[in-house]
Amino acid sequence: MSHLRDLQQRFQDYLIDGSEAIEQDIISTEDAIAEHRLGTYYNAYRIRLIDCLAVDYPALEKYLGREAFENMALDYLQHFPSCHASVRWFGENLPAYLGDVYRGKEAEFLEEMARYEWAQTTVFDAADSVHLLQLEDMATVPVDAWPGLTLKFKPALIWLDLLWNVPLIENALDSGTRVPQKQRNDFPRRWMLWRRELKIQWRSLEVHEAWAIEQAANGANFAAICEGLLEWIDEQQVALAAAGLLKQWVGDQLVLKLDND
C-alpha cells in the first residue's frame, strides 16, 4: 500500500506543479512516449479546473473573454492549487487573487465582480430552510413583546458592500441584455443576495435598511433597531418604519423565526 500511496503522491505532484518524478513509473510505447502520455492528464486536469472556474464565474468569463479568462485561470492555479477533495472550493480565493494581480480600479472592479459571483454560489449552496416566518405570524405577537423581539435569518442570505455597479453588469452578462457602463460610487453600496427556493434573488439596500439588517443579524432587538433608525427616520415614524422593514424581510422569505430576549 505504501508503494501505491507513493505512486499516487508522485502523480498528484506532477498534476499540480509539473514534478517529473512520476516519469520513471510511466512506460513509453511506440505510439507515445511517457512524457506525452502524462501530458494528456496534465492538460486535462487544467482544462477541468478552468471549466470549474467558468461555472462559478460565468460573468467574469464573459467580461474578460475566453482566452484571457483561461490565461488568468492558469495563473490562478499556480498561485492557489486545488487543495480540497471537491472542486467546489477551487475558486474560493479568486477574488483575492484578482485584487493582488491586477492594478488600479480594474483590480477593484474585477475583485468585486468575483466576490459577487462567489456569493451567489455560496447562497445557492446554503442549507435549506423548511420553516420560515410568515406575515400572519407577526399578527400573533403581543404588543408588549415587540421591544424585546430578535430575528433569526436563514443561512441562504449574504450581503456585500460594493463600490461598483457589479450586480447590474453581472445580470446583463448573464441574461444577454445590454451591458451598462461601469460606474463607481463614491461610497460602497450594500447589495443583498438570498435564495428563494432554487432562485437567487438580489437587490440593493438603502443605508438605513443596510444598517438595520446587520444589527438584526447580530442580535439587536426591535427596540434597539428603532433607536438606531432615528438617525434617518423621524421619531414619530420610526416604529412603523422598522415594522415595515421586518415585513419586507418576512415577505422576502429571509426570516426563520422571532425570539424574545
Pair (76, 152) in one structural domain: no
Its pTM stands at 0.86
Please tell me whether residues 145 and 255 are part of one structural domain.
yes
| Position 63 in a domain | yes
If pLDDT is split at 50, 70 and 90, which confidence band does 31 have?
low
Residue 117 in any domain: the answer is no
Q: Output the domain CATH number for residue 236.
A: 3.90.930.50
| Residue 194 grid cell | 438570498
78 and 200 belong to one structural domain: no
Residue 175 has what pLDDT? 92
Looking at the chain, the whole-number percentage of residues with pLDDT higher than 70 is: 83
Residue 172 within any structural domain of the chain: yes
> Which of the listed residues 88, 119, 149 is the one where a domain comes to its end?
88
Same domain? For 157 and 220 the reply is yes
Let me know whether 159 and 39 are in one domain: no
Three-state SS annotation for the chain: CHHHHHHHHHHHHHHHHCCHHHHHHCCCCCCCCHHHHHHHHHHHHHHHHHHHHHHHCHHHHHHHCHHHHHHHHHHHHHHCCCCCCCHHHHHHHHHHHHHHHCCHHHHHHHHHHHHHHHHHHHHHHCCCCCCCCCHHHHCCCCHHHHHHEEEEECCCEEEEEEEECHHHHHHHHHHCCCCCCCCEEEEEEEEEEEEECCEEEEEEECHHHHHHHHHHHCCCCHHHHHHHHCCCCCHHHHHHHHHHHHHHHHHCCCEEEEEEC
The residue segments making up the domain with residue 192 are 129-261
> Number of folded domains in the chain?
2
The pLDDT of 117-121, averaged and rounded, is 97
| Residues 240-251, mean pLDDT to the nearest whole number | 96
Q: What is the pLDDT of residue 12?
A: 62
Does pLDDT of 235 surpass 90? yes
